[in-house]
């Protein structure tokens, strides 16, 4: 356990945003299991000691959330919308501090952290507006004396489990629609990055969110919390973002209670560059898509397919662009690539690169642990990558751009679809007919055409196949927190 400490409070305009206690029923509470340390991945320093809740405390929080839900669901959509708007404003006013906390616990550079805070806030804003638009239906009766009304009602207590790669936005993407629709939430943030979550709760409290409506349950024991969420009969919905492996486990645990689940799971995104593409635009798109958050997003390009006629040119341009990236502590100026989250992440990158090199791939640039040591890794481009390599089948979740060569459109589509995952895919092309053909043929929940960035609160984010269940963002994101009730009236 590192013994060095970072004085993060001194970097904040409002140091009360740095909160190490959990938030249950409107109270800031200590953990019955003591505390766990949050470590800055850039420096290995401890940033804070955070309340380690016991399973019993998690169960209590669920009870409180249930009590609060009855009252919260009685509020009008407009009343809920007003509080969510205030919360959005608090987040915007404190965006700089929230970004500092985020970088300190997660590692991404300040510019990206600030981008995430704005992205995260957009879900509170968007769903706050949607709270007023939970429309039902009137269906013409099936008999002369019958009237059919369809209501949409909040599901009840929602449990969320969120990852460390987007410690702010993955939480607001779930909490926004849950609260807007009249559900209450018990949220377990990742143990690596709980401080962004508790800071959000500080601001929610200031905005006047009633007690019990949002509960932030910090814990080092993900398995205990997951079991409580899946087996406590009061929990009516689980929304999880994380790996497919953990998602499968949660789905199994949730099956006894027939718990409604949303799952945003792993990806293995193909990024295809056709020979008619605007090459510079494709390089720019690949850079952002691959190296955003140091390659640690579920929608990062994991397999870059380039047409054989432009392969060498593309590889050279990628190499030049990658060599311009600046690696370092995300809290320092002008840094574009931070550290990876921990040593295991570095090991995974090394494992994939070792496999690439053994099987005949070529490292064009990078390929090593960075000279700064710790969790830093050199941004890397590898060529001559083939389908027998591990990197073709598993998410690297790190700064490695593997370039595969292809000849024919149908062949690259088949290869792109040859995976159990189906979250995001991207391609660059100019030909109009090809754009339609390929968009329709790719078996993915999200397709980026001539763009490397697809995330926005106004669109439905989510995957097919083993990449997940349900959608987040847009009005579809509200539906995941609502139940339909059909009322058959005999008059
Ligand atoms: C993710 O990695 O799961 C989310 C990325 C995003 O929302 O852009």
The DSSP bridge partners found for residue 422 are 464
- % of the chain at pLDDT higher than 90: 99
Residue 443 a catalytic site member: no
The SS3 call for residue 357 is: helix
With a 6 A CB cut-off, is 241 part of the ligand 1 pocket? yes
Question: Whose CA is closest to atom 7 on ligand 1?
Answer: 455
pLDDT at position 343, please? 95
- What residues of the chain score a pLDDT lower than 70? 1-4
Atom of ligand 1 nearest to the CA of 454: 8
> Rounded to a whole number, what is the largest CA-CA distance in the chain?
79
Q: Which residues of 92-107 are buried (b: 16+ CB within 10 A; e: fewer)?
A: bebbebbbbbbbbbbb
CA distances from 355 to 78, 112, 149, 390 (A): 56, 31, 59, 7
Name every residue whose Cβ is closer than 8 Å to that of residue 71 and which is 6 or more positions away in sequence.
Answer: 210
Q: How far apart are CA 451 and CA 466, in angstroms?
A: 24
pLDDT at position 7, please? 87
Of 230, 261, 298, 300, the catalytic one is 298
Question: Whose CA is closest to atom 6 on ligand 1?
Answer: 455
pLDDT digits over 69-117, tens only? 999 999 999 999 999 999 999 999 999 999 999 999 999 999 999 999 9
pLDDT at position 1, please? 46
pLDDT at position 3, please? 54
With a 6 A CB cut-off, is 164 part of the ligand 1 pocket? no
pLDDT at position 5, please? 74
Name every residue whose Cβ is closer than 8 Å to that of residue 428 and which is 6 or more positions away in sequence.
Answer: 272, 273, 274, 277, 278, 281, 282, 285, 449, 450
- Where is 416: in which H helix or E strand? helix 409-417
pLDDT at position 6, please? 74
- Residue in 56, 40, 29 with CA at minimum distance from that of residue 6: 40
Residue 298 a catalytic site member: yes
- Residue in 103, 107, 101 with CA at minimum distance from that of residue 41: 107
Q: How far apart are CA 481 and CA 478, in angstroms?
A: 6
pTM (2 decimals)? 0.96
């Amino acid at each position: 356990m590192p013994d060095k400490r970072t004085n993060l409070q001194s970097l904040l305009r409002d140091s009360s945003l740095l909160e190490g206690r959990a938030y249950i029923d409107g109270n800031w509470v200590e953990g019955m299991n003591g505390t766990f340390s949050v470590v800055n991945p850039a420096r290995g320093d401890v940033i804070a000691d955070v309340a380690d809740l016991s399973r019993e405390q998690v169960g209590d929080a669920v009870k409180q959330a249930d009590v609060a839900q009855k009252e919260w669901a009685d509020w009008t959509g407009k009343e809920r919308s007003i509080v969510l708007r205030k919360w959005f404003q608090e987040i915007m006013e404190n965006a700089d501090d929230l970004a500092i906390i985020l970088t300190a616990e997660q590692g991404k550079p300040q510019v990206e952290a600030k981008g995430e805070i704005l992205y995260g806030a957009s879900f509170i804003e968007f769903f706050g507006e949607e709270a007023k638009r939970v429309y039902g239906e009137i269906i013409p009766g099936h008999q002369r004396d019958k009237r059919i009304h369809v209501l949409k009602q909040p599901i009840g207590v929602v449990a969320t489990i969120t990852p460390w790669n987007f410690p702010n936005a993955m939480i607001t993407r779930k909490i926004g629609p849950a609260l807007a629709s009249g559900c209450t939430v018990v949220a377990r943030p990742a143990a690596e990055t709980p401080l962004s979550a508790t800071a959000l709760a500080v601001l929610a409290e200031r905005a006047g969110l009633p007690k019990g409506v949002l509960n932030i349950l910090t814990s080092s024991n993900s398995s205990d919390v997951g079991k409580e969420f899946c087996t406590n009969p009061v929990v009516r919905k689980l929304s999880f973002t994380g790996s497919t492996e953990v998602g499968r486990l949660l789905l199994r645990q949730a099956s006894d209670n027939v718990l409604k689940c949303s799952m945003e799971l792993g990806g293995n995104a193909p990024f295809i560059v056709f020979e008619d593409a605007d090459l510079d635009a494709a390089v720019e798109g690949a850079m952002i898509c691959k190296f955003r958050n140091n390659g640690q997003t579920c929608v990062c390009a994991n397999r870059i397919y380039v047409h054989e006629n432009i392969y060498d040119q593309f590889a050279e341009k990628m190499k030049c662009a990658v060599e311009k990236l600046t690696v370092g502590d995300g809290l320092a100026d002008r840094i574009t690539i931070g550290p990876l989250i921990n040593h295991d992440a570095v090991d995974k990158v090394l494992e994939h690169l070792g496999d690439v090199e053994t099987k005949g791939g070529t490292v064009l640039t990078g390929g090593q642990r960075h000279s700064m040591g710790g969790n830093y890794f050199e941004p890397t481009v590898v060529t001559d990558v083939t389908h027998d390599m591990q990197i073709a089948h598993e998410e690297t979740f790190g700064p490695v751009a593997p370039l595969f060569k292809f000849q024919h459109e149908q062949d690259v589509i088949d290869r792109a679809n040859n995976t159990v995952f189906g979250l995001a895919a991207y391609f660059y092309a100019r030909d109009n007919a090809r754009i339609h053909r390929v968009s329709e043929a790719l078996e993915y929940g999200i397709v980026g055409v001539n763009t490397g960035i697809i995330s926005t609160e106004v669109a439905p984010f989510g995957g097919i196949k083993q990449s997940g269940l349900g959608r987040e963002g847009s009005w579809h994101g509200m539906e995941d927190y609502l139940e339909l009730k059909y009322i058959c009236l005999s008059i």
